[in-house]
Amino acid sequence: MTHTQRQAGRGSVIAITSGKGGVGKTNVVINLAAALARRGYRVGIIDADFGLGNIDVMLGLAPVHHLGHFLNGSKRLEEIIIDGPLGIRILPASSGFRELTNLTPAQWRRVGNAIRRMSTELDFLFVDTAAGISDNVVELLRLVDRTIVVTSFDPAAIVDAYAMIKILTTVNPTREVGVVVSAARDADEAGLVFRQLDLAATRFLERSLRYAGSIVFDPAIRESLLVQRPVVDHQPQAPASRCFRILASRLAGMSNNGPGKGIALAVGHRPDEEPLVEETQCA
């Protein structure tokens, strides 16, 4: 976050995206949001998978209105935003509305307006994009401060993550890109995935990536999905919960800017550097 943004009281707007579906992107969003909310930060989520949103389903919510009503002008933003667990402010998306897969310029202006308005009242605003490199995703990535790409050990996920990073380089060549490796067996596996991506980005895109962290494979995640709660809330002592809390601490930057003051993104060490003692417990 820039000095100007902090002075304006604007929170950090972070897109969580992925090249491939099924890597746990939305699960990362809801658990990072929950972990930060538990630390006292003001947190919000925009479900920006416009036609296939599912943040509300994953959290057991039943919104009456959704982002589509705001984009067509039938509802005000304040009428759509709902409170999720731990006070997380959520702007739900629609599901099954094909017209939202191709927004007009006027609708994109409304999306940008929603991001600006929500971020002025929050410390962190997560934008959960659709998977892949559709026009909607690319336009969203132009509207955020930081981007985190979620991937896994699956070779297809790694290839698609690289494609996403390539797109991000064209959108903003100087913007830092963080990488989260999900469903990692251990720290070595997560580090291997990151190094493959970082090597390719350095060689072919002339940019380096930042290692934001990893989430260990944990059956507790599936159990939490079945009860529609973040794993950090449902099973706080689970290995995956510890991973999410470490990643949340990195995002907060462990700076002097406490809750309510706006925080910059500060991602963690590279996997070839010495980890903190507490991080040795998490992949």
Tokens of residue 186, six digits: 């251990």
As a whole number of angstroms, the distance between CA 160 and CA 133 comes to: 9
Specify the amino acid at residue 59: L
CATH code of domain 12-266: 3.40.50.300
> How many CA atoms does the CB half-sphere of 182 hold within 13 Å?
25
Kindly give the confidence (pLDDT) of every residue in the chain, 283 residues in length, as a single tens digit, with 9 standing for 90 and above: 443 444 357 899 999 999 999 999 999 999 999 999 999 999 999 999 887 888 999 999 999 999 989 998 999 999 999 999 999 999 999 766 666 778 899 999 999 999 999 999 999 999 999 999 999 999 999 999 999 999 999 999 999 999 999 999 999 888 889 999 999 999 899 999 999 999 999 999 999 999 999 999 999 999 999 999 999 999 999 999 999 999 999 999 843 344 444 333 344 444 444 343 344 446 5
* C-alpha atoms less than 13 angstroms from C-alpha of 227 in its C-beta half-sphere: 11
Closest among 19, 117, 108 to 71, alpha carbons compared: 108
H or E stretch including 197? helix 187-200
How far is it, in rounded angstroms, from Cα 115 to Cα 177? 20
Angle among Cα 66, 150, 64 to the nearest 5 degrees reads 10
